[in-house]
């Protein structure tokens, strides 16, 4: 059995409080006694106060939870999420706060419990699906949280760091529209939950449950509606998961059409890269006859190498700011609602439509 504070106190012949002070408040006892206590502790193999007991008594933990509303291991697959995490860890590092990555089981009850049982002082929620249930649980626990998307219907004290998804997506779509493209496809991840990869019919973007995807699709729609391309004229594609493979799967059949779209607008770089993969896999003649422009979203490092036209959003900064917002809440609630700038990065994956 590992020795406790009490054991050390007994060994030295002082009270528990004094030993506690030796560790946590050195100014409360004489240096000589402190040295003696620490020596005795080493002797006994006491490695310092039990973190759990300390947290219980002190009322705080020194760790924040990071929640991905999707598989945790997915977070390490998406370069954007990794950059976000890098930002989070940088801010946490500065505050001496640890990061608790909480995996969420697939079943709702289990996921709920995971959030209830996390020993943390607050949550940084990376929105990648339906997270409102989690925010409710966190709220019930009385813990603060910060999200990466504005929560609809939340009060003015709700802190978040987001981008204007719709405007950002529109900027990409306007660029593509300006190049003359009129027969286009929109590609999103999980546009409708559980829908298989491939085309989908939807009367309006409002039907998409996930707010980020909804916003981006709406932005695409805005730009094309402005040049007279009706929503019903665009092909809407969904991918089963935000992965390169899923992106490729989603467009494969469409590309085999007689008259495939001249441009595909994807809701993420990862999906867009998958589209590029699928395009590269076509035979030479098809590729020449039907060139396809592609845009992504996020501007992950791989996008530059692939020459992908995309919308850049500052990933690391998003993570860093979110964490800072959580760890040191601004006095002014308005300062807790951050909208980051985005920038259209034009590369070689978008070209004028062949006339």
Partner DNA sequence: ACCCCCTTCTGTATCGATTCAGAACTGTAT
Partner DNA sequence: ATACAGTTCTGAATCGATACAGAAGGGGGT
Q: Which residues of the chain form contacts with a copy of itself (CB under 8 A)? A: 2, 45, 47-48, 50-56, 61-63, 71-73, 75-77, 82-83, 85-86, 89-90, 92-93, 96-103, 105, 110, 113-114, 116-119, 137, 140-142, 305
Task: Choose the one of a copy of itself, DNA, none that binds residue 209, judging by a C-beta under 5 to 8 angstroms depending on kind.
Answer: none
Which has the closest alpha carbon to 262: 170, 180, 197?
Answer: 180
Could you tell me if 350 and 263 are in contact, meaning their C-beta atoms sit under 8 angstroms apart? yes
CA torsion, points 249, 255, 258, 261, in degrees to nearest 10? 120
Give the one residue of 39, 56, 119, 280 binding DNA; rule: CB under 7 A. Answer: 56
3-class DSSP assignment, residue 65: strand
- Give the integer Cα–Cα distance in Å for 312 and 181: 22
Backbone angles phi and psi of 11, in degrees to 5: -60, -40
207 token code pair: 């039907």
- Give the residue carrying structure tokens 């800072």: 324
Residue 346 interacting entry, from DNA, a copy of itself, none, C-beta within 5 to 8 Å by type: none
Q: Which does 62 bind (CB under 5 to 8 A by kind): a copy of itself, DNA, none?
A: a copy of itself
Closer to a copy of itself by Cβ: residue 175 or 318: 318
Question: C-beta of 35: minimal distance to DNA in Å?
Answer: 11
Q: Which does 142 bind (CB under 5 to 8 A by kind): a copy of itself, DNA, none?
A: a copy of itself
Task: Report what 101 binds from DNA, a copy of itself, none; CB cut-off 5-8 Å by kind.
Answer: a copy of itself
CA distances from 66 to 189, 267, 332 (A): 22, 23, 24
When asked if residue 54 is in the footprint of DNA (CB under 7 A), the reply is yes
Query: Of 46 and 160, which CB lies nearer to a copy of itself in the complex structure?
Result: 46
Name the residue nearer to DNA (CB basis): 20 or 310: 20
28 Ramachandran zone, left/alpha/beta (phi>0; psi -120 to 50) = alpha
Find the shortest distance in angstroms from Cβ 23 to DNA.
Answer: 6
Q: Taking a C-beta distance cutoff of 8 angstroms, is the pair 44, 8 a contact? A: yes
Site for DNA in 4-43 (CB under 7 A): 4-6, 13-18, 20-21, 23-25, 27-30, 33
Report d(CA 185, CA 199) in Å as an integer.
9
The rounded distance, in Å, linking the Cα atoms of 144 and 129 is: 20
Q: Pick what 287 binds: DNA, a copy of itself, none; C-beta below 5 to 8 Å, kind-dependent.
A: none
As measured in angstroms, the least distance from the Cβ of 160 to a copy of itself is 22
CB under 8 Å to 184, separation ≥6 — which residues? Answer: 176, 224, 229, 234, 235, 261, 262, 263, 264, 265
Using CB under 7 A as the binding criterion, the count of chain residues that bind DNA stands at: 29
Residues forming the site for DNA (CB under 7 A): 2, 4-6, 13-18, 20-21, 23-25, 27-30, 33, 48-50, 53-54, 56-59
């Amino acid at each position: 059995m590992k020795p406790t504070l009490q054991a050390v106190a007994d060994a030295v012949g002082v009270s528990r409080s004094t030993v506690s002070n030796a560790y946590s408040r050195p100014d409360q006892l004489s240096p000589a006694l402190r040295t003696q206590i620490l020596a005795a502790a080493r002797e006994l193999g006491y490695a310092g106060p039990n973190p759990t007991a300390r947290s219980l008594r002190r009322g705080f933990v020194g760790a924040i939870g990071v929640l991905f509303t999707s598989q945790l291991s997915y977070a390490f697959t998406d370069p954007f999420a990794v950059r976000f995490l890098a930002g989070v860890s940088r801010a946490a590092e500065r505050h001496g706060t640890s990061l608790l990555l909480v995996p969420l089981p697939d079943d709702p009850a289990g996921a709920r419990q995971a959030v209830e049982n996390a020993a943390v002082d607050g949550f940084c929620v990376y929105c990648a699906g339906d997270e409102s249930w989690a925010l409710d649980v966190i709220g019930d626990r009385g813990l603060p949280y910060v999200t990466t998307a504005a929560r609809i219907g939340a009060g003015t004290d709700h802190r978040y760091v987001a981008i204007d998804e719709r405007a950002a997506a529109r900027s990409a779509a306007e660029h593509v529209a300006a190049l003359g493209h009129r027969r286009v496809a929109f590609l999103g991840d999980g546009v409708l939950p559980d829908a298989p990869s491939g085309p989908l019919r939807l009367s309006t973007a409002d039907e998409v449950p996930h707010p980020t995807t909804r916003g981006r699709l709406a932005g695409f729609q805005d730009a094309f509606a402005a040049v007279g391309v009706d929503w019903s004229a665009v092909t809407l594609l969904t991918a089963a998961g935000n992965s390169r493979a899923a992106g490729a799967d989603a467009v494969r059949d469409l590309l085999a059409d007689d008259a495939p779209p001249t441009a595909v607008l994807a809701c993420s770089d990862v999906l867009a890269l998958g589209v590029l993969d699928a395009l590269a896999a076509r035979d030479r003649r098809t590729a020449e006859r039907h060139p396809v422009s592609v845009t992504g979203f996020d501007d992950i490092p791989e996008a530059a190498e692939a020459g992908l036209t995309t919308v850049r959003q500052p990933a690391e900064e998003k993570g860093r700011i979110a964490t800072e917002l959580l760890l040191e809440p601004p006095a002014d609630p308005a300062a807790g609602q951050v909208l980051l700038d985005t920038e259209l990065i034009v590369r070689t994956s978008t070209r004028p439509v062949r006339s």
